[in-house]
Structure 1
Amino acid sequence: WDQTGMFGASCRHGFILKFCDMVQSGELAKYPLAVVSDFLRTNIDPHNVLGFDIGCSFNATVHSSELVGPLAAEWKLHILVNAFHGWAHNRTCQLECHSLYILGFGLEDLEGMQQIFSLSNLVTSLVRSALRFHWLQA
């Protein structure tokens, strides 16, 4: 297999919005950029907020991207750091990017994908030796 992992996005309700295979590479910026691009092109909500483990640095990546930058600026995309990862960042990052300090954001922790991946680990033993066709069905 050429697949080395998966990258996904979910809404704040825990519904999976997008999954893509990481092929012949590790965690590169192209995967979240593609997901954000698709999200901005198909979403009509003017209050777009994205939570990501590395939200503070990914914000700069998004806004400097030729593919996603103009859309992110047009839709006023705001990228935050997940609640539990946020405490590992410096104080400036926490004040600008942590959901706790964003007015009106509520108690959302932006950790939906962590929960989804935790549950998907139960399937790993079943599909570890499966053919690609059957893996995609799982």
Structure 2
Amino acid sequence: MCNMIRSGELMKYALAIADKLLRVYGPAVRIKLGYNIGWVISCIVPAFHGHSHNRVCQLDWHPMYSEGCGKEDFEGCERFFSASNNLASGTRLSTAFHCHQAIEGHVGFWADRKHIKSGKFIYNNYRQALEIISQGTRALDVYAQDLQTTAADYESYLFEYIEALQALGQEGIRDRAACEQYKKLDYLIIAKGIKGQEITAIKREYLASHRRVQDAEQHVQQLEEELDLDERWLLGSSQYQKMASELHIRKYRRALDNLERSLSSDYLS
């Protein structure tokens, strides 16, 4: 440990860590090194910090997209730093010696506790990873056999179906509004004095809204046949609510991706 009073998180610390790991484990061992500004060299940016980096950096160095990282988020040091905040209240007015003494005691206790728990931690993570792989593989195999699809199709079909249902609902709302406006056409002509282009626009929207509803209905029916759905997912059904929630999250992530991509373009330019 060292106290970076003036330098901040410079690359020399990451290089020193990499040098130590190579000397301990040897150059033949493949090691993933997480460092907050690791995008400067070939290593992994910790998961939490990665989301503050630009999109290009994330695609290259975020652990989510790096093969071999598994469930590791590379934020172990951050958890230690968070726990060490408890030292502040007891050492703020102490001498330098007693401050260092408290820090050393805290670090020693942390190291011993982590060493004791490390075996169980690795074992539980390994079991959890195997369970995720096993359950996911069985579910995908069943879907592939029943639907004659590949893994890439599953979520895209369901999201497309929900989007189609929502589009059908929106077109239905627009169609009802157009019908109401068309029913009031005589009143609008006599009482409001509309003419020409305004009358034509109301008639055009009345006819066009019917066609859009028919097209949306046909799209939904086509998807229901492809997904082999016996009944349509109604607005209040559990399936609809679950997938609508997933779709909302998906749209949020897409918006976040677009924002990060835009920031990346500005960064690269």
* Preserved contact between residue 127 and residue 135 of structure 1 (Cα < 8 Å): yes
Residue 131 of structure 1 deviates from its aligned partner by 2.1
Structure whose residues are more often helix by fraction: 2
Partner residue of 2:36? Answer: 53
* Preserved contact between residue 50 and residue 79 of structure 1 (Cα < 8 Å): yes
Task: Kindly provide the amino acid, as one letter, of the partner of residue 27 in structure 1.
Answer: G
* Preserved contact between residue 22 and residue 31 of structure 1 (Cα < 8 Å): no
> What are the superposed Cα offsets for residues 95-118 of structure 1, whole Å, 9 maximum, x if unpaired?
210100112321111111111111
Alignment of 1:95 with 2:95, yes or no, is no
**What CA distance in whole angstroms lies between the structure 1 residues aligned with 2:20 and 2:68?**
26
Alignment of 1:105 with 2:75, yes or no, is no
Equivalent runs, 1:1-138 vs 2, <5 Å: 19-23=1-5, 25-29=6-10, 30-44=12-26, 46-57=29-40, 59=41, 78-138=42-102
SS in 1 for 2:20: helix
Residue 28 of structure 1 deviates from its aligned partner by 4.9
* Preserved contact between residue 20 and residue 31 of structure 1 (Cα < 8 Å): no
Residue 127 of structure 1 deviates from its aligned partner by 1.5
**What CA distance in whole angstroms lies between the structure 2 residues aligned with 1:127 and 1:42?**
35
Residue 123 of structure 1 deviates from its aligned partner by 0.8
Partner residue of 1:70? Answer: none
Q: Which runs of 5+ in 2 are unaligned?
A: 103-269
**What CA distance in whole angstroms lies between the structure 1 residues aligned with 2:14 and 2:3?**
11
Task: Kindly provide the amino acid, as one letter, of the partner of residue 113 in structure 1.
Answer: C
Residue 87 of structure 1 deviates from its aligned partner by 2.0
**What CA distance in whole angstroms lies between the structure 1 residues aligned with 2:25 and 2:2?**
18
> What are the superposed Cα offsets for residues 1-29 of structure 1, whole Å, 9 maximum, x if unpaired?
xxxxxxxxxxxxxxxxxx22225x13052
The runs of at least 4 consecutive aligned structure 1 residues that moved more than 4 Å come to none
Change in Cα spacing, 1:83 to 1:136, as seen in structure 2 (3 Å) is same
**What CA distance in whole angstroms lies between the structure 2 residues aligned with 1:35 and 1:104?**
20
TM-score when normalising by structure 2 = 0.34
* Preserved contact between residue 83 and residue 111 of structure 1 (Cα < 8 Å): yes
State the identity %. Answer: 41
